[in-house]
């Protein structure tokens, strides 16, 4: 555990002096989220992502770029969605049941082939694929984001407009601010 903790502390994928993305992905592959999620004898086991704390966006950048590239979407947009959805916390869970970095709902995750929504690689790949589907379906970044948040049916019911849902309107503004580099 100490070795893994030391490796994580030093790991900076993609940087000129940091570890390559492949080493980071190997570390993620070795991590067993289900074994690390509970208390053992009253003590929390070491969690490479902290006690529910978020990863830095720079740690996820290679994974975000790969998932976005495979889905044919802008990596900066996917990063903005991850920032708004989970704050880069791979263990995030919403009250509604959305899970992981891109906050996939269970049925959506299954339909995208995601078997472990708390696995960063699977979750990013699923979220990128879903976002690509919404971009293709609605042809606009703002409408795709509204559909990602509220569901495509609600966007269609609103006449292919952002639905009159306060949360969805705020979500679209927030993600677009992140995407365009402005603070929200």
- Which domain does 110 fall in, by range? 55-179
Residue 30 designated active-site:
no
Tell whether 31 is covered by a domain.
no
Q: pTM for the full model?
A: 0.71
Tell me the CATH number at 109.
Answer: 1.10.530.10
pLDDT tens digit sequence for 20-55: 555 555 555 544 443 333 333 333 333 444 444 456
Catalytic residue among 25, 70, 85, 142: 85
Whole-number Å distance between alpha carbons of 168 and 11: 35
- Provide CB contacts within 8 A for 7, sequence distance 6+: 19, 27
pLDDT tens digit sequence for 97-146: 999 999 999 999 999 999 999 999 999 999 999 999 999 999 999 999 99
Tell whether 27 is covered by a domain.
no
Torsion on CA atoms 83, 86, 91, 92, rounded to nearest 10: 170
Structure tokens at 120: 């960063």
Number of domains in the chain: 1
Tell whether 99 is covered by a domain.
yes
């Amino acid at each position: 555990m100490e070795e893994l903790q030391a490796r994580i502390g030093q790991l900076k994928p993609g940087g000129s002096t940091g570890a390559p993305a492949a080493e980071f992905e190997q570390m993620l592959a070795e991590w067993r989220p289900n074994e690390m999620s509970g208390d053992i004898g009253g003590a929390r086991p070491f969690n490479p992502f902290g006690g529910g704390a978020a990863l830095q966006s720079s740690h996820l950048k290679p994974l975000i770029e790969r998932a976005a590239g495979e889905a044919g979407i802008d990596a900066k947009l996917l990063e903005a969605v991850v920032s708004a959805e989970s704050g880069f916390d791979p263990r995030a869970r919403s009250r509604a049941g959305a899970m992981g970095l891109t906050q996939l709902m269970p049925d959506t995750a299954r339909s995208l082939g995601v078997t472990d929504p708390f696995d960063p690689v699977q979750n990013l790949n699923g979220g990128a694929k879903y976002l690509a589907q919404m971009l293709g379906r609605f042809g606009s970044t703002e409408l795709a984001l509204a559909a990602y948040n509220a569901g495509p049916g609600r966007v269609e019911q609103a006449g292919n407009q952002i639905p009159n849902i306060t949360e969805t309107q705020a979500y679209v503004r927030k993600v677009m601010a992140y995407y365009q580099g402005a603070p929200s």
